[in-house]
Amino acid sequence: MPSDIVTTDTGQIRGEVRDSSLVFEGVPYARAARWEPPVRAASWEGVRDARAPGSPCPQVGSSYSEERSTNEDCLFANVTTPSTTGRKPVLVWIHGDGAVGAGHFFHAERLARQGDVVVVTFNYRMGVLGGFGLPGLPHSGEFGLLDQRAALEWVRRNITAFGGDPGNVTLFGVSFGATAVSAHLMGPRPLFHKAIMHSSFTLVDVPRGAWFPGLEALPSLAWRPVAEIEGLGAWVMAELGCPDVECLRALPAEKLLDHPQIMNIFQATGYGGTLLPRSPADLLEAGEFAPVPILAGATRDEHNSFVGLFRPEPMTADDYAALVRDAFPDRATEILAEYPQSSNASPKQAWAALLTDRMWARSTFRQNTFYARTAPVYAFEFADRSAATDPSFPPELHGANHSSDIDFLFPDKSFSKDRGLSDYMIQAWTDFARDGSPGWPRFSEGQYVQSLAPGAIGPVDYAAEHRLPFWE
């Protein structure tokens, strides 16, 4: 094993061997004052200890994450490599959610070792610190995206020292992270050469009541016009009694994080600013994106997660019918005929199946169709219906739920799911990172989608499975 000391452009760092890989954690890739663009990290003398993670970016936790942080000195990267020699493909991971999370939560030792690749994960500003805006504030709504670009710039400058090839970088992410990947495809000159997206929100709209009980219909969970974000920022300024942005910058992070409304209303990314000139949906449809090779897909039972999390109360058949009528007043009768509660194990399962098809499968298929007009696209569906078994969910909502595929790429020592499927995915994903193909036909060849399930890897009629002709 080569030396565990690596020289970066800001100083030397010492990592450690884990599971036959070298791991470097808590490496500063940039620094940023509140609501300012990131700049290069400060240099240091001597050898910096990189054997423990840096602080997560500020977050208040949630029903599915207990992590809390108020530390704004949080722009850290983590690198896992089989060897610091050679020129290996590089995978750069953007974690999901956009309000909670950190790069070091993802264990990349097996992905790096088995796939013979270098894996980079990192933290970025989220919520009110990543997506805030005010009239006259440069880069309103895009501080998190700027952090992600800074991480990619750090990779370009430094990854050779870790055995990586700066000329072969794949950007990949899940959920909010996958949506960020799409933003970088449509933004300024991309700092990567291939892209992978798991369960992207890029084209997901939200019918009334589909996310939280009582939530009005939304055109997007992922994007907001900068002008709208700036209006929310002006409301925050008045709510917190500040006359200007300097007053807001001087407040303790807790004042922003602990307000019941402020943290998550800035989860969406702004468009109409410096990075995204127009709505990403418009840019995608117009073909205004980098035509790099793309691997993209979703899970078989995406919306099970959100019904399980946000609708814990009992649901009757009458409740289900009322939800459908409320969400789809013009088509309720035909939707209830297409998705009868009686054909599912419970009303909750019927609601989840309907929304998986309408929100997730429909938008994923449209996204891949638009990308495939000018880029090589490889489509997948993660379909291991034993993958997600949250004990707080009723059994019928277990399945191939949102983000349940990610453990198969980042398995830690406690991983107890199908090892064969994990091996297959790691091989396919790292083959794609190496030469641009995961080993199955392109989506444009008969709209080919590769299903990923234990003992059942192969093509699936995705449109028929998710009743897309009905929704179109």
pLDDT in tens, the chain (472 residues): 457 999 999 999 999 999 999 999 999 999 999 999 999 999 999 999 999 999 999 998 776 667 899 999 999 999 999 999 999 999 999 999 988 999 999 999 999 999 999 999 999 999 999 999 999 999 999 999 999 999 999 999 999 999 999 999 999 999 999 999 999 999 999 999 999 999 999 999 999 999 999 999 999 999 999 999 999 999 999 999 999 999 999 999 999 998 988 878 999 999 999 999 999 999 999 999 999 999 999 999 999 999 999 999 999 999 999 999 999 999 999 999 999 999 999 999 999 999 999 999 999 999 999 999 999 999 999 999 999 999 999 999 999 999 999 999 999 999 999 999 999 999 999 999 999 999 999 999 999 999 999 999 999 999 999 999 999 8
Report DSSP state, residue 92: E
Three-class SS state of 106: coil
pLDDT value at residue 362: 98
* Helices assigned H by DSSP within 328-388: 332-338, 347-355, 362-372
Tell me how far CA of residue 202 lies from CA of 15, 147, 261, 269, 285, in angstroms: 36, 19, 24, 11, 11
pLDDT value at residue 415: 95
Where on the phi/psi map is residue 442: left (φ > 0), alpha (ψ -120 to 50), or beta?
beta
pLDDT value at residue 376: 98
* Burial bucket for residue 390 (CB in 10 Å: 0-12, 13-18, 19+): middle
Query: What b/e sequence results for 28-51 when a residue is b if at least 16 CB atoms lie within 10 Å of its CB, and e otherwise?
Result: bbbbbebbebbeebeeeeeebebe
* Phi, then psi, of 380 in degrees rounded to 5: -140, 160
pLDDT value at residue 260: 82
Q: Say if pTM beats, i.e. exceeds, 0.95.
A: yes
CATH of the domain at 294: 3.40.50.1820
pLDDT value at residue 186: 96
Q: How many domains does the chain have?
A: 1
pLDDT value at residue 64: 67
Closest CA to 45 of 13, 5, 4, 85: 13
Q: In sequence order, which residues have a C-beta less than 8 Å from that of residue 110 and are 6 or more positions away?
A: 19, 410, 411, 426
| Interatomic CA distance for residues 88 and 118, integer angstroms | 6
Catalytic residues: 175
Chain Cα centroid distance, residue 386? 22
* Helices assigned H by DSSP within 286-359: 304-310, 317-327, 332-338, 347-355
Which domain covers residue 163, as residue numbers? 5-471
Q: In sequence order, which residues have a C-beta less than 8 Å from that of residue 262 and are 6 or more positions away?
A: 128, 236, 239, 256
Chain Cα centroid distance, residue 24? 22
| Interatomic CA distance for residues 472 and 468, integer angstroms | 6
Q: In sequence order, which residues have a C-beta less than 8 Å from that of residue 75 and are 6 or more positions away?
A: 28, 29, 30, 31, 32, 38, 41, 57, 122, 123, 124, 125, 147, 150, 151
Q: Which parts of 118-268 are beta strand (E)?
A: 118-122, 164-174, 194-198, 223-225
